[in-house]
Structure 1
Amino acid sequence: MPEGKIIKALSGFYYVLNEGNVIQCRGRGVFRKNKITPLVGDEVVYQAENIQEGYILEVKERKNELVRPPIANVDQAILVFSAVEPDFSTALLDRFLVLVEYNHIRPVICITKMDLTTAEQKELIHSYAEDYRNAGYEVMLTSSETEEGIKELLPLLEGEISVFAGQSGVGKSSLLNALRPDLELKTDDISTHLGRGKHTTRHVELISVGEGHVADTPGFSSLEFMEIEAEDLNYCFPDIELLSEECKFRGCLHIKEPKCAVKAAAESGELPQYRYEHYTSFLEEIKDRKPRY
């Protein structure tokens, strides 16, 4: 049986790429029975009489999967956040980073719309960028209008399945258009009434960019830590995880424990205060989460 990769899911159809050909497939009823939903990025076994009439028979084991956006087997996440319009949010970025780290996906922080910043805003963004680089993250500063950072971003996509994710209106589609101008993806301006972007991407689809594939995903602005346990959170902050090696007590949650290296680093400024505050806020959210039955 032939095998391929799902590159688009739309209206009950799955579009499978195999050796340059795209076959339109449906899922067999066995998936519904076993509560398996094929996802974009899945490696699948299928059968097809022609390119219009195929059926997915098997979904191969996934190395990871995301729920929002629904995609599997992601190598890296390009977390797209705008410097302005909407304003850069470290709290929202840290929330995305935690979920990406938990799913063992390599994050790349991409800050867009640098051409729209004032001198003061630019200085602040560069300060944040330095903080996140010190935490171990790759940070790109870009502009789809001036093409700042676009050439530097391209090599990071080679040979990878990358998901472009972020808040609505930050310029994900504009960034993809800058990376591959022939795409002509639809973009919308920020809603001045709501102060946030309109959703321009309606489905998940893998798009070839150079030798890699990227997924433009529907924008969303709320993320919940449904799977993450309190003891997992430490590992989702690489800078805190590194500092925690110096904590006196193993399994330290960095809240009330004595001789905690993470609290000491936050107090001294070695760890940015906002990173520690986000950690403690997320920890409280996880502890307050209602148990699932």
Structure 2
Amino acid sequence: MEGILLRRYGGFYYVESGGQVWTCRLRGRFRREADLLPGDRVEMVPLGPGEGVIEALKPRRTLLERPAVANVEQAIIVFSLSTPPPDLELLDRLLFLSGVKDIQAIIVWNKVDVAREEYRDLPGIYRQIGYSNLIASARTGQGVEKLREVLAGRLSTFAGPSGVGKSSLLNALQPELNLRTGEVSAKGGRGRHTTRHAELIRLPGGGWVADTPGFSRLDLPSLDRLEVAGYFREMEPLIGRCRFNSCLHRGEPGCAVAAAVEAGEIARHRYEHYLNFLAEVIARERSY
């Protein structure tokens, strides 16, 4: 039987197959070699009522290292329009990584019911760049049905910092989940971690979502320095229009990207994050 791994805990693997969840172990030599992740497609053999053994891992279509989930089709990137304040460099890092992994990214701006005035323009900025945006409030229910439609029939991961309301949105989608939620620290304005490990949650309307631990930083993958601009959607059309083919868009004469920044066609914070990511990629190249 083929199934999908929902979670692993204490040496057991919980696999959904044939309309039920099976408690499984790994078979023999496969046990020493396998490193299974939520989202993995596996081949299993039933051993008894609700129990089975995993015998093989199917090829993965995508792989995320952090959060560690396999076969993700789309990333639901959740940020708050209130507290904690949106960390735009982390947002751009998540969008960048989604592009590198060829995973569709959808930004959910939560807590719109208590949105701060200085953040209200953010959805429009990212919509103009070309990213899908959804405005939501886990507390009032705004945007929850639209989010349900986005998730239906697909394997999605929820990503974003702690305290933005990822678990609260999942509870709004499926109240019987009763996932733990955490308040934002009054002292630091940062969320407390409430999800301890990644696991897939089956939604009534079809599809799965991975509820994952929050995080504050992600390392970039190994890339060629000339590839970095291609993962910034507003910069990609300008590649090849600079004076020099090897332009890295960091002060070279005749740079089309720099000109677009000065003209207000590219958000300055996005350009600054591009330069930061480029510096990281170059530093990694030099460390090899």
Q: TM-score, normalised by structure 2?
A: 0.93
SS at match of 2:140: coil
Q: Give the drift of 1:52.
A: 5.0
> Structure 1 residues 50-59 or 236-245, which shifts more?
50-59
Change (3 A) 1:21 1:194: same
1:92-112 deviations in Å (ceiling 9; x for gaps) = 100111111111100000011
Contact 2:80 2:110 in 1 (8 A): yes
What is residue 287 of structure 1 aligned with on the other side? Answer: 282
Q: 2:199 aligns with which of 202, 205, 213?
A: 205
Give structure 1 stretches of 5+ with no counterpart.
none
Contact 1:77 1:107 in 2 (8 A): yes
| One-letter amino acid of the structure 2 residue matched with residue 140 of structure 1 | L
Q: 2:100 aligns with which of 99, 102, 125?
A: 102
What is residue 238 of structure 2 aligned with on the other side? Answer: 243
Alignment of 1:125-144 (within 5 A): 125=120, 127-144=121-138
Contact 1:65 1:72 in 2 (8 A): yes
Q: Give the drift of 1:193.
A: 3.2
Change (3 A) 1:71 1:291: farther
Q: Give the drift of 1:291.
A: 6.1
Alignment root-mean-square deviation, CA: 1.9
SS at match of 1:173: helix
Q: Give the drift of 1:207.
A: 1.3
For 1:183 and 1:134, how far apart are their aligned partners in 2? Answer: 35
| One-letter amino acid of the structure 1 residue matched with residue 14 of structure 2 | Y
| One-letter amino acid of the structure 2 residue matched with residue 285 of structure 1 | E
For 1:141 and 1:257, how far apart are their aligned partners in 2? Answer: 39
Structure 1 moving runs of 4+ over 4 Å: 31-34, 290-293
Q: 2:252 aligns with which of 247, 253, 257?
A: 257
Contact 1:94 1:278 in 2 (8 A): yes
Does structure 1 residue 177 correspond to structure 2 residue 179? no
Q: 1:231 aligns with which of 212, 226, 231?
A: 226
Give structure 2 stretches of 5+ with no counterpart.
none
Identity of aligned residues (%): 45
Q: Give the drift of 1:53.
A: 4.0
SS at match of 1:188: coil
Q: Give the drift of 1:40.
A: 0.7
1:219-268 deviations in Å (ceiling 9; x for gaps) = 11111114334233222211111222433433532124332211111111
What is residue 114 of structure 1 aligned with on the other side? Answer: 112
What is residue 277 of structure 1 aligned with on the other side? Answer: 272
> Structure 1 residues 192-201 or 251-260, which shifts more?
251-260
Change (3 A) 1:232 1:26: farther
For 1:251 and 1:162, how far apart are their aligned partners in 2? Answer: 36
Q: Give the drift of 1:56.
A: 1.8
For 2:103 and 2:246, how far apart are their aligned partners in 1? Answer: 24
What is residue 180 of structure 2 aligned with on the other side? Answer: 186
Change (3 A) 1:291 1:142: same
Contact 2:230 2:239 in 1 (8 A): no
1:170-202 deviations in Å (ceiling 9; x for gaps) = 100001111112211111111223431111111
For 2:12 and 2:150, how far apart are their aligned partners in 1? Answer: 30
Q: Give the drift of 1:163.
A: 0.4
What is residue 3 of structure 2 aligned with on the other side? Answer: 4
What is residue 59 of structure 1 aligned with on the other side? Answer: 57
For 1:218 and 1:27, how far apart are their aligned partners in 2? Answer: 25
For 1:189 and 1:7, how far apart are their aligned partners in 2? Answer: 27
Q: Give the drift of 1:290.
A: 7.0
